[in-house]
A and B are shown apart, each in its own frame.
Chain A
Amino acid sequence: MGGVQSGAAFVFAPLTSFNSWWGTLNAQSQQIRDLRAENENLQLQVRIAENERARVDEMNALLKVSSVGEYAIVPAEVIAVGPAQDFSWTVTIDAGRDDGVEPDMTVINGQGLVGRVLKAFATTSTVVLIVDASSAVGGRIATTEEIGIVSGTGRQDSLDFQLLDPLAEVRSGDALVTFGSKGGRPYAPGLPIGEVVEVTGTAGQLTRVATVRPFAKVSALSIVGVVVQPPRTDPRDTLVPGPGAVVSPPAPSSEPTSGIEVEQPATPAPEVALE
């Protein structure tokens, strides 16, 4: 009898163990589903964290500029951009009259000058960027007293710099800062504008124009600051990015998070010099 039983047990083993097999399969597939869901959730959180970190970096760069230069700023975020079809470079930011923003205030980000407020509404404002063809900013070559007019060309990566003194020396690699308007409006003094990448015309020529690449990447703006109170004293050249940032032009443009790239060379530079 025992032999028959063990034989029967052997024959029907697949059927009797089916229950436990089915249970394991169910539990495992449930586990796989749980883990998948958890994985997706974690991946989402990582992506959110990356995004948050990028925003924090940008905010840090902006705060650095505003604290070093002693500008009082109202931070804002770009919420809408004008279409490229009409060749204008205007954006909408989410700060307006209620936040103390008024027309003709300077707009900056962590890299430098971005533009000026054109119109201020209750909770939003329209900002015209420095690369817009209607924009003209008084600029000064850092470390010198040479001044000129930086006008937008309508192209996102170039500005025209026309020196007031046609005999003044200007070389590619020179950084430009804002000269500053009366009362800090529309442009507060000492803000980095960009660096000279090409000089056309020779010294003494009547129209001597240098091409300037703006420090701020205007096509990918997110967090900006509106200067509501210009500094009491001109910060002069303290905000000009370190030599590393000026010498290697491709670095900030190739990296999407240029905010970190521009700031980093400023700190290790003294150590390199000491060694």
Chain B
Amino acid sequence: MIWRQGLLILGVVFVADVLQATVLSRLGIPAATPDLLVVAVVALALALGPTEGAIAGFLAGALVDISPPSDTPLGVNSLVYLVIGFVTGFVIHPRDRTVWVSMGLVGLSTAGAALATAAIDALLGSPRVIWSEVPTVVLASALYGVLLAPLVIPAVAWLAARVAPAPPAELRLPPRITDMS
């Protein structure tokens, strides 16, 4: 069970990283690159849960940081994607996830990833961050993420159901947040 989930996470993250570096980055899309990695992490978190989402996020970020032509400090993307994977797997109860909620999560995640990496890079003293362009990049990244979501989330959910079928939902779901009040 665990190794099947691990295989799924590794496979999805690896394919997303290669596609992003060789195809999406080279399309010359204005303002930002469609952040397929973040969308894939959110899709994995929605399909598998917060812990698995966090693991997927860490792996995806590490892969982005070490795969050429990256020249950014190691670990920034790992940290950001890990938080995204955990939070998106946790924040909305699966019963309340509509298509729009999922797309909104992806939009917020891609925007948050762009903003957080820029902020951490700037804190680490990177000379590259252009703050006047950050809002454009963040908005464009969110838009592209939302556009990618309807393709990626169902594909990953389908793969997850095939490769790593989940135990009965009631066994693994945390109680609804609204129930706790």
Interface residues of A (CB under 8 A from B): 78-88, 90-92, 118-119, 121, 124, 126-128, 132-134, 153-155, 219-220
11 contacting pairs across A/B (C-beta < 8 A): A78-B26, A86-B128, A87-B121, A87-B130, A90-B69, A90-B70, A90-B71, A92-B21, A133-B128, A133-B130, A154-B128
Known pairs A86-B121, A92-B21, A219-B28; A155 contacts B130 (CB<8 A): yes
CB neighbours (8 Å) of B117 from chain A are 85-86
Residues of B within 8 A of A126 (CB): 68-69, 71
A85–B114 Cα distance when bound, in Å, is 6
Say whether A82 contacts B21, CB under 8 Å.
yes
Give Cα distance in the complex from A246 to B28, angstroms.
25
Using C-beta atoms within 8 Å of the partner chain, give the interface range for chain B: 20 to 34
Q: Which of A83, A87, A127 contacts B128 (CB 8 A)?
A: A87
**Cβ contacts under 8 Å, B64 to chain A:** 83
Contact present for A124 and B68 (CB under 8 Å): yes
In the complex, the answer to whether B127 meets A133 with C-beta atoms within 8 Å is: yes
Q: Quick check: is B5 within 8 A (CB to CB) of the other chain?
A: no
B127–A80 contact, CB under 8 A? no
Interface centre among A91, A121, A128 (most CB of B within 10 A): A91
Whether the pair B130, A134 counts as a contact (CB closer than 8 A) is no
Q: B residues near A, CB below 8 A?
A: 20-22, 25-26, 28, 31-33, 35, 64, 68-72, 113-114, 117-118, 121, 126-130, 133, 137, 141
Taking A86-B72, A86-B117, A128-B71 as contacts, is the C-beta distance between A81 and B25 under 8 angstroms? Answer: yes
B residues less than 8 Å from A87 (CB atoms): 118, 121, 126, 128-130, 133, 137
Give chain B residues whose Cβ lies under 8 Å from the Cβ of A128.
71
Instruction: Check if B32 sits within 8 Å of A85, measured CB to CB.
Output: yes
In the complex, how many angstroms separate the beta carbon of A160 from the nearest chain B beta carbon? 12
Give Cα A132–Cα B35 distance, bound, in whole angstroms: 20
Q: How near does chain B come to A175, taking the closest CB pair, in angstroms?
A: 26
CB distance from B76 to the nearest CB of A (A): 8
- A127 partner residues in chain B, CB cutoff 8 A: 69
Cα-based distance from A87 to B119 in the complex (angstroms): 12
Write out the residue numbers on chain B whose beta carbons fall within 8 Å of the beta carbon of A153.
130
Residues of B near A133 (CB, < 8 A) are 127-128, 130
With A87-B118, A90-B69, A90-B70 in contact, do A82 and B25 touch (Cβ < 8 Å)? yes
Q: How far is the CB of A118 from chain B (nearest CB, A)?
A: 6
Task: Name the contact of B33 in the complex, choosing from A78, A83, A92, A124 (C-beta under 8 A).
Answer: A83
- Are B129 and A82 interface neighbours, CB within 8 A? no
CA distance A151 to B98 in the complex (A): 48
- A23 to B126 CA separation, bound complex (whole angstroms): 75
Cβ–Cβ contact B28 & A80, under 8 A: no
| Interface pair A82/B70, CB less than 8 Å apart | yes
Q: Which residue of A lies closest to B114 (CB)?
A: A85
Q: Which A residues touch B31, using CB under 8 A?
A: 84
- Residue among A87, A90, A134, A220 having the largest count of chain B Cβ atoms under 10 Å: A87
**Complex contacts, B32 vs chain A, CB 8 Å:** 83-85
Chain B residues, CB < 8 A from A121: 68
CA–CA, A206 and B52, complex, Å = 56
A80-B25 in contact (CB<8A)? yes
Q: Are B127 and A83 in contact (CB-based, < 8 A)?
A: no
- Across-interface contacts of A81 in B (CB, < 8 A): 21, 25-26, 69
A residues within 8 A CB of B114?
Answer: 85
Known: A79-B22, A82-B25, A87-B129. 14 other contacts (CB 8 A): A80-B69, A83-B35, A83-B64, A84-B31, A85-B35, A85-B137, A86-B118, A88-B72, A118-B71, A126-B68, A134-B127, A154-B130, A154-B133, A155-B133
- Chain A residues with Cβ below 8 Å from B33 are 83-85
A78→B26 CA distance, assembly (Å): 9
Chain B residue contacts of A84, Cβ below 8 A: 25, 31-33, 137
Could you tell me the distance in whole angstroms from the C-beta of A150 to the nearest C-beta in chain B?
15
Docked CA distance A79–B72 (Å): 19
For the complex, give the distance between the alpha carbons of A240 and B113 in Å: 42
Using CB atoms, name the residue of chain A closest to B73. Answer: A86
Kindly provide the distance from the CB of A116 to the nearest chain B CB, expressed in whole angstroms: 12
- Docked pose: A123 CA to B31 CA in angstroms: 31
